[in-house]
Amino acid sequence: MTIASLATILNQARQNNQAIAGLVVLGWEDITAFIAAAEAENMPVILQAGPGCRAHTPIPVLGAMFRYAAERASVPIVCHLDHGYEIQEIEEAIQSGFSSVMIDGSKMPLSQNIEITGHVVSIAHRAGVSVEGEIGIVGYTDGLSSQGTEPDEAARLARETGVDALAISAGNTHLQTQASAIIDEVLVDKIAQRIECPIVLHGGSGIPHSVRRRLARKGLVSKFNIGTELRQVFGSTLRKTLDEDPNIFDRLTILKTLQAPLCDATRHIIANLK
């Protein structure tokens, strides 16, 4: 299957009142489980390499892994660099075969965010690569506080940079272990009316499934980033495996026990967004 463009699959999803799952990858076992789930649901997915993943595995290795798996999948797969902060790593991702990159200038003043995002768009689009930008600060459960996105600022950034997707802050928070976020759906709607590109919500694990589904069905949010929710499945299954067999030690044998639970949980996420 052809590796997919983020712009293409998100625009198709929005037209169909669906959303696509942006799945945070930390290793090969994640990739295989996520693609198996996507194929079972006959839906595209976005494989995402965030800063934590990149600290563990070099970008060229991730690019090769993502592309190898995507080229053999029966559904469209986007190979996406999540939360890129430096031009150098964006360029390395493009050279390594990623089909989509995110430039996160959300902590910068608006003018600087527009400048760096526009620069990344010019570089990426020349290479046929999609770009996700971000405006408004999506905080962390035990760290930086969130700051909601201003609709006028979102409209200006989208208009002046030509991004293919825009991540916003509307009550969502990274690394939430409970689906308890209260999303300002009125704000999301206001932003959606002001910009032409699809909207992304990071911190999707903290958003109740019913809210994700409603925002997708209304055509307001086209991509939800999901990481913590699936890492919890990974961790709980790993503990169960080790508790049930204290003599197990082989890495591959242990990791094989994670595939079915990860795939099942991912299928539930994907199906909810259809």
Sign of the CA dihedral with 188 first, then 191, 196, and 201 last: negative
CATH topology for the 6-272 domain: TIM Barrel (3.20.20)
pLDDT tens for 160-178 read 999 999 999 998 888 888 8
**pLDDT above 80 (res 27):** yes
Q: Write down the pLDDT at residue 179.
A: 85
**pLDDT above 80 (res 141):** no
Is 254 in contact with 51 (CB distance < 8 Å)?
A: no
Any idea of the CA torsion for 131, 5, 57, 113, to the nearest 10 degrees? 0
177-186, 189-198, 226-235, range with the lowest pLDDT:
177-186
Going by pLDDT thresholds of 50, 70 and 90, the confidence category of residue 144 is low
Going by pLDDT thresholds of 50, 70 and 90, the confidence category of residue 1 is low
**pLDDT above 70 (res 34):** yes
Active site residues: 82
23-32, 42-51, 115-124, 244-253, range with the lowest pLDDT:
244-253
Going by pLDDT thresholds of 50, 70 and 90, the confidence category of residue 119 is very high
d(CA 121, CA 153): 18
Every domain of the chain and the residues it spans: 6-272
